[in-house]
Structure 1
Amino acid sequence: MNLLFRNATQEDLKPLLALENQCFTSDRLTPRSFQRMISRAHASLIVAQVGSQLMGYCLVLFHRGTSLARLYSIAIATHSRGMGLGKQLLDQAEQCALAHDCAYMRLEVRSDNPVAIALYERNGYRRFAEVNDYYEDHAQALRLEKRILQHRESRMVPVPYYQQTTDFTCGPACLLMAMCALQPNRLAERTEELQIWREATTVFMTSGHGGCSPQGLALAAWRRGFRVRLQVSIDGPLFLNSVRNKHKKEVIRLVHEAFCTELQHSDVQQISGNQLDLARVLRDGGQPLVLISSYRLTRSKAPHWVIVTDCDEDFVYLHDPDIDHSQHRQALDCQHLPVSHAAFDKMCAFGSNKLRAYVVLYAREHDNSEVAPMA
């Protein structure tokens, strides 16, 4: 059998739809979805073909700015099953992900599909989550992962995930995750997310509601009983250059000055500097919130808070509280995102002045132990 694997084209749309309808009774990709996947830069739709006949396909999605790929779907024509095509398509998906500099492949599979589960587990995928009511018919999904760029397994720090519920509460969402990691019995609730934003916001940004400043988040964490270290590379109120209105600028200055005054009467450790020794911070029990430029994730040049959950020799791992549903992402796609150290270093330098800002939380019960200084 002369089997050909190639990228799908618009001419494949009709046979792809026929294959989709043959293989799935629900959760089907629509014609519009197929068209987008064929043309977009952050997905690869690979088809298997013999002669003029389409035998199957696999669809891989890439998470911009990270080293994570997602196997979104595999479909095999009824007459092509039992020939090892599933394994071959899986290999093609992994090779494609490696070519896009991805280190991890993740996927979902129905928990009542033992054949598919066996295929993935035979090929090195491990279960790491169960998602109830995942599919249209309310069936459960198993979440599997494989490190396709082989290296030692990363330690998965137990940082719970919380999705921001507004466009402007990424900082409070990250703070909730950090607090819940340090206090496992603590609940992450939307009421507190919004309350933290009210405490920590700078009121204004370029447009819409203001985001949370490092000083405001540090104070919000301190008020809730945590030890906090604040590291900012630039003095003064942030993002003033992005605000044109003089009245708004003055409000931001006043809010910043009030934060600074309160910080002087707190035990928040304030440090100037550019670099953060993440490995040491994590080893010493710290939960670091990091201000990044969202450009490398979404192509939107906006300040955005994430929380670092782990790091190893190759990657820094992030929880991103912002889920972009237009990119076919679920909450699990935004957890423990692997980002190369070089890419992370670029993310952390925001704007032309290369602003770097970190807020690190520690549990109060460690007060008698020395916390290593930030480099």
Structure 2
Amino acid sequence: MTQPVSIPSLHIDVRSAQLEDVKPLLALEEKAFTGDRLSRRSFRRAITSLGSVLLVAVGTEGLLGYALLHLRQGTHLARLYSLAVAPEARGLGVAKTLIQACEKQAIKKGKNLLRLEVSDVNLNALSLYRKMGYQEFGHYDAYYEDQTDAIRMQKVLRYSADEQISRPLSWLAQGTPFTCGPASLQMALSALHPEYQATPNDELEIWREATTIFMTSGHGGCHPMGLALAAQKRGLSAEVWLSEEGPLFVDSVRNALKKEVIARVHSRFAEQCESSSLPVHYSVMPLEQLISAFDSGALAIILISTFRMDGKKSPHWVVMSGYNENCILVHDPDYEAKDDTQNPLDCQYVPIARSEFEKMSRFGQSRLQATLVLQT
């Protein structure tokens, strides 16, 4: 739908981009940027993808600018990936109009947090974002092709939330499809023990120590007690909260031998926790208690189901990295650089609505909930 906006001496229409816009978009990209340019394929993907919104600002003289918005599935996060204004249209309100249109689109898509990156030397853009209510929350050295730094900014949409509470937490991508638990533990170790060096070898070693050996298919996943024991071995104090006492991850296992092995591994982990005085609470950790532990300096590794994020019913470990009045923030180690719609920054401080988080943190037919609370 076209959104007409009147500005003195200039009329702007903002609409969704069409495939016939690709050629003028490429010409604008060439004029607007000296590096980090989007390709023809990127523009075509943005126009056809359900996970992106590409808006164009059009005047009587043609294309004035565009804004590309990426939507993080299963979360309330939107990201302003790219914004460009034709040199001849700068200073006429095109950028502000596009940003306002992006905010409306983000809200329409159910998102309530909009993030962006901007070069620290782009003073005009920084000034505009600040005037529009965006706040700085991160800085990245040599982020762009020309080696300039990036400032991360964000704005809460629709509601006025309390101040975000978060923890400086280094992010790590899991090195394999089955090591989300070890990568999450390495993030916690790096934050709580700054001298700890996260290495690919230790990631695999943690997996070897913590794995259930079997899953319904593929490689074994990490058992919460196994991860807690690995954390304790590396100098952290650990507690486990489990919603059930029996062997985990056996709901969909049909093979009798697999069931038996999973049960034996579970029993052995339980014995090791008892002998090492590692507390295991067979109950659900209330969200408010989780937040209280975070406020006291602890970090939590939480088992979630990824169904709301990628449509797959897989157990997955993430690290709680903050919260606000409406959301829980997590560091997600699952990152795969498939195309330019994905960025490691999108895996950090991912906002998940509290109501959604409580649904996501239940896995399988038994609605298993598992949380590890770690501290020094």
TM-score with structure 1 setting the length: 0.90
Alignment of 1:5-84 (within 5 A): 5-51=14-60, 53-84=62-93
Provide the C-alpha distance between the structure 1 equivalents of 2:18 and 2:26, rounded to a whole number of angstroms: 13
Q: Note if contact 2:161-2:325 (Cα within 8 Å) is conserved in structure 1.
A: no
- Partner in structure 2 of residue 265 of structure 1: 275
Deviations 1:148-182 (A, max 9, x none): 34322112223332222221111111112222332
Task: Tell me how far 1:45 sits from its aligned partner.
Answer: 0.8
CA distance in 1, matches of 2:250, 2:161: 43
**Distance (whole Å) between structure 2 residues aligned to residue 133 and residue 166 of structure 1:** 27
Aligned to 2:161: 151
Tell me whether 325-334 or 195-204 shows the greater mean CA deviation. 325-334
Shift of residue 317, structure 1, vs aligned partner: 1.0
Question: Where do 1:228-239 residues align within 5 Å?
Answer: 228-239=238-249
Instruction: Give 1:373's aligned residue.
Output: none
Deviates more, 1:296-305 or 1:222-231: 222-231
TM-score (norm 2): 0.90
Deviates more, 1:72-81 or 1:144-153: 144-153
- Contact 2:214–2:262 at 8 Å: present in 1 too? yes
Tell me how far apart the structure 2 counterparts of residues 63 and 33 of structure 1 sit (CA, whole Å).
Answer: 17
Offset of 1:206 from its aligned partner? 3.0
2: CA distance between counterparts of 1:312 and 1:115? 30
Question: Runs of at least 4 residues of structure 1 off by over 6 A?
Answer: none
Cα distance in structure 1, aligned partners of 2:160 and 2:31: 36
2:236 corresponds to 1:223: no
Instruction: In structure 2, give the amino acid aligned to 1:188.
Output: A
Contact 1:278 1:311 in 2 (8 A): no
Correspondent of 1:190 among 182, 192, 200: 200
Q: 1:52 deviation in Å?
A: 7.3
1: CA distance between counterparts of 2:261 and 2:37? 50
The Cα shift of 1:320 comes to 0.7
Q: In the alignment, is residue 336 of structure 1 matched against residue 336 of structure 2?
A: no
1:141–1:280: structure 2 CA closer, same or farther, 3 Å change rule? closer
Contact 1:3-1:49 within 8 A present in 2 as well: yes
Aligned to 2:297: 285
Out of 158, 170, 177, the position equivalent to 1:167 is: 177
**CA–CA distance in structure 2, aligned partners of residues 8 and 57 of structure 1:** 9
**Retained in 1: the 8 A contact 2:251–2:364?**
no
Paired AA for residue 374 in structure 2 = L
Q: Which of 335, 340, 343 pairs up with 1:323?
A: 335
1:357 and 2:370 aligned: yes
2:97 alignment partner in structure 1: 88
Report SS of the residue matched to 2:300. Answer: strand
Cα–Cα, structure 1 residues 313 and 114, in superposed 2: closer, same or farther, change >3 Å? closer
User: Helix, strand or coil: the match of 2:303?
Assistant: strand
Range that drifts further, 95-104 or 244-253: 244-253
What letter matches 2:232 in structure 1?
W
User: How many correspondences in the alignment?
Assistant: 363
Corresponding position of 2:322: 310
Instruction: Please tell me whether residue 345 in structure 1 is matched to residue 358 in structure 2.
Output: yes
The correspondence for 1:122, drawn from 106, 128, 131, is: 131
Identity across matched positions, percent:
43
2:317 partner amino acid? W
Show the counterpart of 2:6.
Answer: none
Unmatched 5+ residue regions in structure 1? 364-375
CA distance in 2, matches of 1:103, 1:48: 23
Partner Cα separation in structure 2 for residue 313 and residue 134 of structure 1: 31
CA separation in 1, counterparts of 2:23 and 2:225? Answer: 55
Q: Which moved more, 1:343-352 or 1:158-167?
A: 158-167
- Shift, 1:51, TM fit: 4.2
Contact 2:224–2:371 at 8 Å: present in 1 too?
A: yes
Structure 2 letter corresponding to 1:162: L
Q: Secondary structure at the match of 2:166?
A: coil
Residues 303 and 361, structure 2, Cα contact 8 Å, conserved in 1? yes
